Structure 1
Amino acid sequence: MITNDTLAHVNVADLDWPEAVEIAADRISEGAPVARTFVLDAGPRHEVGYWRITPGRFTTVHSGYLEFIQILSGRGALIHANGERTELRPGVACAMGDGWNGEWLVEEELTKAYTIVPTGA
């Protein structure tokens, strides 16, 4: 855990990514996406790290947390339940509130930096 007097740092290009985890089949509508998550720091009130996903399309529901992301590499879109589309490419950042739901459409392997904050909801 990062404390007041520490500095956590990594070079994303040099990460030793853990084994890939399949996205649950009932969430997938295209492809066979797998994800790798590198947790930089986690505690009861937060999780900070990097996430890499291969191409595909799958649903997601944020329940009990909010998430801030910034796209580092790759290309795709978040498609909101109401049909609104947010294009994802390097430099794009967005926040998804507790209860946000929609789909990830990953067109090119995508890497994001993320921060998750539980809402207690």
Structure 2
Amino acid sequence: MLFHLTPLDAWLEHPDRPYTTASLAAEGFIHCSPDEETLLSVANQHFATAPGPLMALLIDEDALDSPVRWEPASDRGGELFPHVYGPVNRSAVAGMLEVVRDPDGRWAKLAAWS
């Protein structure tokens, strides 16, 4: 399972189309994380001031219509991250969880979205 951070509004914007991001247009791929721990670290690094709700899409790599490449991230010490080279077909999204802040305001856990 791949994890992708997105504001809820971005996910809901065009429900009848495959999901895309600004990074797909600018960089040629959609950023994902390999696991929950990494996703939370990325959330705190890149979405620290995001107002929320911030969501984690759970993407089934085998169900994607677009290719995935595992590549090093320059801002994370060369750690390998999955990059989706094309839109995400919504049928590949196996679930969605809300990213929840702790009392100190840091993104701390994933929880069922209500």
TM-score range, shorter chain: under 0.3
Structure 2 length normalisation: TM-score? 0.23
Q: Which has the larger radius of gyration?
A: 1
Quick one: higher RCO (CA 8 Å, sep 6+), 1 or 2?
2
More helix per residue: 2
Which structure has the highest strand share of the two? 1
